[in-house]
A and B are shown apart, each in its own frame.
Chain A
Amino acid sequence: MIPNDSPTDHPNAWPLWEVFVRSSRGLSHVHAGSLHAPDAAMALRNARDLYTRRNEGVSIWVVPADAISSSDPDSKGSFFESPQGKDYRHATYYTKSEGVKHL
């Protein structure tokens, strides 16, 4: 049997944080990866050290990984496949009316 190496087995293990980096002004923060840190202040510093070493960013967010709710990978079908084929939800589906400028 493979031992379960989850953090709950190590009560002293640092919690997991997700890191978002904004690469320059005008862009949005993008998920860069994750890291372990004892608290938010240290998570920011670790993020700076791990994810902006090569001039990648001007701003960082860190979020406790367990504060993020994510969609269920098993429900991909019901969650994400419904919009497929609904081309009327795209602007290109419609023909331009005569005489309309600036479209």
Chain B
Amino acid sequence: MTAPENTQNPQNAENNTDFAIEGHGDISVGVKGAGASGDGSASATRITPGNALRPEDIALEVRKGQVKPNEDVAEYALRLGDDGLILAQRLGHWISRAPELEEDVALGNIALDQLGHARSFLTYAGAAWDKSEDDLAYFRREHEFRSAHLFEQPNGDFAVTIARQFIVSYYQFELYKRLTGSSDQTIAAIAAKALKEVDYHRDHSAQWVLRLDGGTEESRRRIVRAFKLVWPYVEELFEDDELTARLAETGAGVQPSSLRADFDQLTGEILAEGGLDEELALERIPQSLGGGRQGKHSEHLGYLLAEMQVLAREHPGASW
């Protein structure tokens, strides 16, 4: 695998202030410095952001030379980061458009969780090639993205978004659960943080699958249609290749196929509750060719990237 090409570096290196996010600053309350973002000043009456692994902490470790992924781990982190990034961009489109205000915020929260995972993975991946998360997100071209096809599929109606999220969250849960035991400490730490969030995404999407399934005739029709639309992209998530085989051997990663049995069982339980499984006959739905991990994408990704990248490319180094 080659490192992503990058002809343009939007930020010059001297420009980087310690680890604070450019333009946003450090959000910690009362405590300065990486990793010390709350506990010391926690009290019953004062809200603190809490103490958890942040992309800025990883960026700091990278800059200090404390962590650096090898080529395989970097490529793996790129895949995981791209999955999250592309899905976050898709989900963000729901903001102001969801059927109810409450759901608007729920989908926005999930989008931001995914973006957070993506930032951590891409920051870590970039360390191998001396690139920042922004270099990777905004200055790679379509064929350099390593996300699976499911993540770039259009939002469709609410049911399609929920069906896609249902598959993604059950897949990511099984993946991150195993990656908490990764031999790569940074991958393990990112997975541990992401796992709790993805667990909630599972619950959110499962609740909605059950309600759409058991709701009205119309909601049932829509969730059935939704699963038929997105299920063809399931197989690709569980495909092994040379990279995952090497990573599974070193213990840094897992073979995607090893997640399939648990994924099938847990999603199957939800789908069986209202009889959706019988109506869908999922095993008979033909599967797409995939290819996202090699940079071969569906026609949808280009448009998504154009929208996501235009500002950064038009005004390199812009901050707000």
Q: Which residues of A contact B (CB under 8 A)?
A: 14, 23-24, 26-27, 35-38, 41-42, 45-46, 48-50, 53-56
Contact A36/B101 with A45-B203, A55-B49 known, Cβ cut-off 8 Å: yes
A55 and B102 contact, CB distance less than 8 A: no
Cα separation A48 to B48 with both chains bound (whole Å): 17
Main secondary structure of the interface of B (DSSP, over half): helix
Number of residues on chain B facing chain A (CB within 8 A):
19
For the complex, give the distance between the alpha carbons of A53 and B113 in Å: 11
Assembly CA distance A69 to B101 (angstroms) = 26
Complex: A36 Cα to B47 Cα, angstroms = 25
Q: Is the CB of A35 within 8 A of B109?
A: no
A46 & B211 in contact (Cβ 8 Å cutoff): no
**Secondary structure class of chain A's binding surface, majority of residues:** loop
Q: Are B47 and A42 within 8 A (Cβ)?
A: no
The reply to whether the CB of B44 lies closer than 8 angstroms to some CB of chain A is yes
B204 beta carbon closer than 8 Å to chain A? yes
Instruction: Check B211–A23 contact: CB distance below 8 A.
Output: no
Q: Tell me whether A54 and B44 are in contact in the complex, defined as CB-CB below 8 angstroms, given that A41-B207, A46-B106, A49-B109 are known contacts.
A: no
Q: Which residue from chain A places its CB closest to the CB of B50 in the assembled complex? A: A55
Residues of B within 8 A of A54 (CB): 47, 49
Whether A23 contacts B102 by the Cβ 8 Å rule is no
Partner of A56, one of B47, B101, B103, B207: B47
> Using Cβ atoms and an 8 Å threshold, which residues of chain A touch B38?
55
CB < 8 Å neighbour of B44 from A23, A37, A48, A55: A23
Partner of B102, one of A26, A27, A37, A53: A37
Known: A36-B102, A37-B102, A50-B102. A24 touches B44 (CB 8 A): yes
Q: In the complex, what residues of A have CB within 8 A of residue B105's CB? A: 46, 49-50, 53
Task: Specify which of A26, A36, A45 is in contact with B106 (CB 8 Å cutoff).
Answer: A45
Within 8 Å CB of B278, what residues of A? none
Given A55-B49, A56-B47: A46 and B102 interface contact (C-beta under 8 Å): yes
In the assembly, what is the distance between CA of A49 and CA of B50, in Å?
16
Which residues in A have their C-beta under 8 angstroms from that of B109? Answer: 49, 53
Please name all residues of chain B whose beta carbon is closer than 8 Å to the beta carbon of A41 when the two chains form the complex: 207
Question: Which A residues touch B49, using CB under 8 A?
Answer: 54-55
Please determine whether A38 and B106 come into contact, CB atoms closer than 8 angstroms.
Answer: no
Residue in B48, B50, B101, B204 whose CB lies within 8 Å of A45:
B204
- Is B100 on the interface with A (CB-CB < 8 A)? yes
In-complex Cβ contact of A55 among B47, B103, B203 (8 A): B47
A35 to B109, CA, bound (A): 16
CA distance A55 to B29 in the complex (A): 12
Assess the A36–B100 pair: CB atoms within 8 A: yes
The residues of B that contact A35 with a CB separation of less than 8 Å are 102
